[in-house]
Amino acid sequence: MRHILIDTDPGIDDALALIFALNSPEAGVEGVTTVVGNVTQEKALKNALKILEFLGVEGVPVAPGSTRPLLREPRVAEEIHGKTGLGGAVLPEPRLRPDERSAVGLILDKVEEFGRDLTLVAIGPLTNIASALLVEPRLAEEVGRLVIMGGAFHVTPYGFGNVTPVAEFNIWHDPEAAKIVFDSGIPLTAVGLDVTTDPRNRLSPEALREIEGLGTRRACLVADLCRDLVHRFGGLNLHDPLAVAAAIDPRLVRTKPYVVDVETRGELTLGMTIADRRDPRRVWRRREPNVDVCVSVDGDRFMELFMERVVGV
């Protein structure tokens, strides 16, 4: 059993990722922490509780985290994820209550409890993870691994930014937090836009029609979450479910080690994740790679898992 804790900003694809994780028999979801990003912290927390309640999950602590990035103002993405953050899905007000701990408290407790058997999966901006590292820098050695959805590394034909030409949203929303995390020495796998925007890993309009045709309670929720974005963009990038899938089954993806720096000051390049792609033999003052960057995915297997675990076919 792989123990995981999910740090998230639900968010449409975050909601899909939570459903994926909570329906994965090889994974024990030990906690969920929420962070400002796609929506405010308050909405992120409520949406996480709504999804757990929809699935009938009890006993998984859900803890609220940062209401703003470390140094900057929040810049939520309601134009993508909708006013509530869950697209066209309407779920009742949750009766489940949040945990009494803060996100940082819950992360540190779970690292203490499971140590190297715990994988942190961060699918929103890295504010909570950086805050936990600032409180307890030993976290970097004590946890098994951190898998993030984040970055655009320019290592595949799809590795461009989404929020700017070069920056991916989660890194761009809190670049200082991302820098702390990338420089911390934590074993880090990054599932970035290089793979999540590969058309082979997207939810196509045909797949949406298939989901709509199923008519089950879960398929209706998934369709309501995805419909607007599939129609607007001709398909939906499954960023966060792919990161969760890679955390649960690392054989699904191929990674390559890179030295990566996060840009925190550039006028045009804020939030860019710069992977050093030079031939290491020609690099003066070589550094040890700090990130395993995901470079390809078994797309057929991933889509099969998505349909099985998220949609429930």
Catalytic machinery residues: 239
Name the minimum Å distance from CB 220 to Ca ion: 22
Place of tokens 């407790």: 109
Interface residue with Ca ion among 4, 6, 14, 248 (CB under 5 A) is 14
Interface residue with ligand BDR among 13, 30, 174, 292 (CB under 6 A) is 13
Residues 121-160 that bind Ca ion (CB under 5 A): 123-124
Name the minimum Å distance from CB 193 to Ca ion: 12
Binding track, positions 225-264, relative to Ca ion; x by CB under 5 A: ---------------x------------------------
Q: Does 38 contact ligand BDR by CB under 6 A?
A: yes
Question: Do 28 and 4 contact (CB within 8 A), yes or no?
Answer: yes
Interface residue with ligand BDR among 6, 129, 149, 223 (CB under 6 A) is 149
Q: Per CB under 6 A, which region of 7-15, 93-101, 135-143, 174-182 contacts ligand BDR?
A: 7-15
- Residue nearer to ligand BDR on the CB measure, 143 or 149: 149
The option from ligand BDR, Ca ion, none interacting with 198 (CB < 5 to 8 A, set by class) reads none
- Residue nearer to Ca ion on the CB measure, 10 or 159: 10
Residues 159-178 that bind ligand BDR (CB under 6 A): 162, 168-170
Q: Per CB under 6 A, which region of 10-18, 26-34, 213-221, 285-293 contacts ligand BDR?
A: 10-18
Name the minimum Å distance from CB 18 to Ca ion: 10
Question: HSE (CB half, 13 Å, CA atoms) of 262?
Answer: 25
- Residue nearer to Ca ion on the CB measure, 37 or 159: 37
Interface residue with ligand BDR among 43, 154, 179, 239 (CB under 6 A) is 239
Question: Do 33 and 65 contact (CB within 8 A), yes or no?
Answer: yes
The option from Ca ion, ligand BDR, none interacting with 310 (CB < 5 to 8 A, set by class) reads none
Question: Do 244 and 201 contact (CB within 8 A), yes or no?
Answer: no
Interface residue with Ca ion among 11, 94, 150, 271 (CB under 5 A) is 11
Place of tokens 């050695």: 141
- 2/249 Cα distance (integer angstroms): 9
Name the minimum Å distance from CB 277 to Ca ion: 26
Give residues in contact with ligand BDR (CB under 6 A). 11, 13-14, 38, 77, 80, 123-124, 149, 162, 168-170, 239-240
Give residues in contact with Ca ion (CB under 5 A). 9, 11, 14, 123-124, 240
